[in-house]
Structure 1
């Protein structure tokens, strides 16, 4: 059985790959994602890989080609952030599902499993368990819920048009696992949340909104449900959740680590505008819609999954949440961009010299320190610039290239900083902030179109980054000549030089995409169709 997993690099996707790899019925796996993972590490090493952006109308033809010869498709791709770009979220999540289903039908795929959610259900105000027949109109005020409900309508239409295809829609609760610790922090708590303290000290009391109740499920249990759905050729909807319901008091007890009362009751009414304000101020990634879901999502009856799929959870929701909290404390993750650990560096497998490494007497430490400090300052400015580019052009076809360059430069920046510290050199105190300010001012140029993204911006920003990456590459070549003196294996610098060449290739692709449109009227630099 050949299985294609769309959106295979995230929380559920990584667990599904792991599960499929041990199923004797599955002979091969193709993983699809906008941004490809490290295919040499678990669990991504179990799949072949290809990149595709499902939001584009043209993606249907690409997907149909990739689905050719597949027995089943598992569609998991879903964009949670950025909350402010509703059009982008709808294109990826709702239109993307339509593109995946259409392509599967064109390719002759006969078994499909799609990731829906408890968030698709209509709101309730009680604890009475609902089965899959409960309405799926979503919860007003939650963009996630509204889009999940819209996705359900896409699947309704597909089922009506293709009764010959077995379409299963899984509606899991909150999905937790250790590997998603850093991802969930970024998406919902943000960088300011002191989750690093969770493994050393827990809060004695935890504020909890009145009426909150959720169901959780471990990612491994969700993955088993997806595997059973495609292997059995299941049809229809399936609620997937652990048996225990996590009330506000239960959540507070788990977070605090206390068995007694650990929650401070917080009225919902003032909390909602507070969360809204924090989100608008960019202090909190989570918007107020998630509160609405936590308050009004139904408790799910999982009887159908048990009887039809032979599925039952092996872990409780409390166990899954405990595992997640411990992982958040450690900053755990996996080898993909969505699941990246909190302080990941792709070069951490290469040893650095011991702290206060002694340079040979023949080296002018003052000149070397200044040279490395200048490169770190430039890397700081370049990192801010490429991160801003990736965020600004997230809704374009070249976002995967920009994002991959941003991740690579971030990793290298971290490694260079550690290398400087290992030599006993201080980090630059003046040059880096000055370059950072200059980089910010350079991005303020209006390019003749104030307050709008200019078509010229993508071209010019890419050219500036190409220059920066080229300069960085030359810096690695210089340092490679002094690898022995620095106490670093020369192969590390060879890898960095090769990575710079890859980054230039990605940026060349961005430039080639943007430059034919940059000065022509009536052509959008950001159109998915062009």
Structure 2
């Protein structure tokens, strides 16, 4: 069998690839994503990859044509692509999640693929009034209505996706459509991603390494169902092998209530709070930008029914092997550690650890190359260098790198609905990693980073965001142009820094090859930013051209 996975780089997609790789009946895998992973790293290796934008910044005809081409000779398509953030871009989320599903399904029909497997969610279900009655509510099977939770954009879009599939099934009875409705999907390797998407960097879960709070605050009545990603991966395998249509609830057998959550997070102590109080706090935190998740996620968690997973057992032969409690414990550890994998959605919190594993290779005895291994801040500057000048030079470059990382990450997020997003996102990852390497070089040499200078750069970059470019309530078409010009200047300056360090690498006992690679990478980044600038300058100074689509 040859299987195509749309959205093959995220939490679900990575688990599906792991499970499919281990399935003898699967002889070929096609991976489709807007941003591609590092393809020499499991489970992304051994896959035929296609970079396809299903709906964010593509036309209907272009997306369907690209998908049809990728689906040739495929026995089943597993559609997993789903955009969770940014919460405040509702039209974008709806377009990618609902219209994107419609386009994938249409391409399945045009390519003659006989089987479509789609990830729906427990969030597609309508509210269960029994959830508010106290005690353990009944478990509901797949016949429960899929009207969604009105206040949750995720739930509303999942319900709309179900309607798209209903219409597709009616129009194409020759295609078997299987819908998996999983609970919360946990794995340690998704720790950094879930932290980013739902809690954000201002919620320092790393502090849990040092100790736990006196008690875990939870909304009264909270009950959660979850599934480990590897169990869900096995469900995808069962779905493609059995080829049975209809919906299947996929979750572990145990339910996570206040006591179960507290046993994992906080030595078994918890404090129940009125859901309305928790909701008000979440609304305030989201509006202030402290927490990325909005209150709709809480509403969904409090109102959806508990799922009965017996149909998956009886018809697909699937049973969970990992409890929800164990899956959540693994996720919590992964969030604390910032774990991830070398794919754009799952990038770890400290991505440089994966990108620069060879950075510390020595050029000679006693040489470092940005590994950050200098012990105790021991100074390693040869006598013929002036420490103060070198320290100030590298610190200034680190200050510029801090501002550059903030700007390019914001650009990637702001222009997710443009054809430039994938390239901007790749450059953002590289620039973030470059900054971490520079930090390590400074440590290797036993120099001070002068963090107050980076703090000033951080504040300055954010103040710079307040410029309006003549527009108040909408993006100016000129903004991308100006930001591309600023980033070109920043990367040119960084290139000069790498060239200087390459010139002095041997004298400073650093590995010259590392800086050769960084110089080449910086030049590629400039080429990318030139393409972004060309796209922006064609549209920036006229109102008759759609900056983000034409």
User: In the alignment, what sits opposite 2:318?
Assistant: 311
User: In the alignment, what sits opposite 1:274?
Assistant: 281
In structure 2, distance between residues paired with 1:234 and 1:119? 22
Shift of 1:452: 2.9
Determine whether 1:145 maps to 2:167: no
Shift of 1:467: 2.1
In structure 2, distance between residues paired with 1:366 and 1:222? 56
Shift of 1:434: 4.9
Give the direction of change, closer, same or farther, for the CA distance of 1:427–1:27 in structure 2 (3 Å limit).
Answer: same
Determine whether 1:19 maps to 2:41: no
Number of equivalent positions: 525
The TM-score, its normalising length taken from structure 1, stands at: 0.95
Shift of 1:36: 1.5
Determine whether 1:390 maps to 2:390: no
Q: Of the candidates 425, 432, 436, which is equivalent to residue 414 of structure 1? A: 436
Give the direction of change, closer, same or farther, for the CA distance of 1:29–1:257 in structure 2 (3 Å limit).
Answer: farther
User: In the alignment, what sits opposite 2:97?
Assistant: 93
Q: Of the candidates 333, 340, 356, which is equivalent to residue 340 of structure 2? A: 333
Counterpart contact for 1:4–1:32, Cα < 8 Å: yes
Shift of 1:287: 1.2
* Counterpart secondary structure, 1:38: coil
Counterpart contact for 1:198–1:328, Cα < 8 Å: no
In structure 2, distance between residues paired with 1:314 and 1:343? 30
Give the direction of change, closer, same or farther, for the CA distance of 1:443–1:251 in structure 2 (3 Å limit).
Answer: closer
1:508-530 deviation line (CA, Å, top 9, x unaligned) = 23223222222233211012xx2
In structure 1, distance between residues paired with 2:122 and 2:40? 34
Counterpart contact for 2:379–2:447, Cα < 8 Å: no
User: In the alignment, what sits opposite 2:532?
Assistant: 510
Shift of 1:431: 4.7
User: In the alignment, what sits opposite 1:288?
Assistant: 295
User: In the alignment, what sits opposite 1:124?
Assistant: 128
Give the direction of change, closer, same or farther, for the CA distance of 1:316–1:379 in structure 2 (3 Å limit).
Answer: same
Give the direction of change, closer, same or farther, for the CA distance of 1:13–1:257 in structure 2 (3 Å limit).
Answer: farther
* Counterpart secondary structure, 2:471: coil
* Counterpart secondary structure, 2:306: coil
Determine whether 1:47 maps to 2:66: no
Determine whether 1:248 maps to 2:258: yes
After superposing the two structures, state which structure 1 stretch, 69-78 or 312-321, moved more. 69-78
Shift of 1:82: 1.1
Give the direction of change, closer, same or farther, for the CA distance of 1:266–1:510 in structure 2 (3 Å limit).
Answer: same
* Counterpart secondary structure, 1:217: strand
Shift of 1:250: 1.8
User: In the alignment, what sits opposite 2:79?
Assistant: 75
1:41-88 deviation line (CA, Å, top 9, x unaligned) = 121123222212111323111111111222211111111111111111
User: In the alignment, what sits opposite 2:403?
Assistant: 381
Shift of 1:450: 4.1
Q: Of the candidates 229, 244, 247, which is equivalent to residue 234 of structure 1? A: 244
After superposing the two structures, state which structure 1 stretch, 67-76 or 234-243, moved more. 67-76
Unaligned segments of structure 2, at least 5 residues: 131-136, 361-370
Give the direction of change, closer, same or farther, for the CA distance of 1:130–1:434 in structure 2 (3 Å limit).
Answer: closer
Shift of 1:359: 2.2
Counterpart contact for 1:199–1:326, Cα < 8 Å: no
Q: Of the candidates 36, 60, 63, which is equivalent to residue 64 of structure 2? A: 60
After superposing the two structures, state which structure 1 stretch, 356-365 or 70-79, moved more. 356-365
* Counterpart secondary structure, 2:317: coil
The TM-score, its normalising length taken from structure 2, stands at: 0.92
Give the direction of change, closer, same or farther, for the CA distance of 1:188–1:443 in structure 2 (3 Å limit).
Answer: closer
Counterpart contact for 2:6–2:81, Cα < 8 Å: yes
User: In the alignment, what sits opposite 2:328?
Assistant: 321
After superposing the two structures, state which structure 1 stretch, 219-228 or 351-360, moved more. 351-360
In structure 2, distance between residues paired with 1:406 and 1:501? 14
Instruction: Quote the RMSD (CA, aligned, Å).
Output: 1.8
In structure 2, distance between residues paired with 1:286 and 1:440? 21
Q: Of the candidates 134, 159, 172, which is equivalent to residue 162 of structure 1? A: 172
In structure 2, distance between residues paired with 1:367 and 1:152? 63
Counterpart contact for 2:380–2:444, Cα < 8 Å: no
In structure 1, distance between residues paired with 2:41 and 2:267? 33
In structure 2, distance between residues paired with 1:335 and 1:37? 6
Give the direction of change, closer, same or farther, for the CA distance of 1:388–1:367 in structure 2 (3 Å limit).
Answer: same
Shift of 1:485: 2.9
* Counterpart secondary structure, 1:485: coil
Counterpart contact for 2:254–2:323, Cα < 8 Å: yes
User: In the alignment, what sits opposite 1:479?
Assistant: 501
User: In the alignment, what sits opposite 2:383?
Assistant: 361
In structure 2, distance between residues paired with 1:415 and 1:228? 43
In structure 2, distance between residues paired with 1:298 and 1:304? 16
In structure 1, distance between residues paired with 2:233 and 2:47? 15
Shift of 1:451: 4.2
Shift of 1:354: 2.3
User: In the alignment, what sits opposite 1:31?
Assistant: 31
Shift of 1:225: 0.6
User: In the alignment, what sits opposite 2:4?
Assistant: 4
1:167-201 deviation line (CA, Å, top 9, x unaligned) = 11100000011101111111122223232233442
User: In the alignment, what sits opposite 1:217?
Assistant: 227
Counterpart contact for 1:182–1:341, Cα < 8 Å: yes
Shift of 1:124: 0.3
Give the direction of change, closer, same or farther, for the CA distance of 1:486–1:20 in structure 2 (3 Å limit).
Answer: farther
In structure 1, distance between residues paired with 2:504 and 2:474? 46
Give the direction of change, closer, same or farther, for the CA distance of 1:41–1:264 in structure 2 (3 Å limit).
Answer: same
Shift of 1:18: 0.7
Counterpart contact for 2:374–2:443, Cα < 8 Å: no
